[in-house]
Amino acid sequence: MEHIQKGIAGEQKACAFLEQQGYKIIEKNLRIGKGEIDLIAVHNNCMCFIEVKYRKHNRYGFPEEFVTQKKLLKIQETAEAYIYTVNWQGRIRFDVVAITGEELPVHLMDVTL
């Protein structure tokens, strides 16, 4: 249970960070079929699909290192279904927000496979 609570706290921290940067969060923990996207936000007319990774410390690696190619592919598939559902015609982007302990989040934009 503690793991889930830390994940939720990480997502809340990511939301606050992104909102301070001018992002409008439009979905949290979106599930379509077997896919899930942590956050969907709009920024400068671009829809951003955001994976949030939290780690208490970097002892075993940085949080962003745990976003695998398989995970990015699943996010992309889920995003395609969402885009179709809402009929989004604008730009899209895939981002990662990595959080380690109490440090400021690291925002990696336009992450590719």
Query: 100 is in which domain, residue-wise?
Result: 2-108
Q: Is 66 exposed, middle or buried (0-12, 13-18, 19+ CB in 10 A)?
A: middle
- Whether residue 2 is predicted with pLDDT greater than 70 in this model: the reply is no
**Residue with the larger pLDDT of the pair 105 and 61:** 105
Tens digit of each residue's pLDDT (9 = 90 or more) over 9-32: 889 999 999 999 999 999 999 999
Q: Is 79 exposed, middle or buried (0-12, 13-18, 19+ CB in 10 A)?
A: buried
Tell me how many domains the chain contains. 1
Residue 9's SS3 state is helix
- CATH number for the domain harbouring residue 9: 3.40.1350.10
Residue 60 confidence class, pLDDT cut points 50, 70, 90: confident
Tens digit of each residue's pLDDT (9 = 90 or more) over 86-99: 999 999 999 999 99
**Domain contains 113:** no
The two three-digit tokens of residue 101, written as one number: 């302990």
User: Do 96 and 67 meet the contact criterion of CB atoms below 8 Å apart?
Assistant: yes
**Domain contains 31:** yes
**Domain contains 82:** yes
- Whether residue 113 is predicted with pLDDT greater than 90 in this model: the reply is no
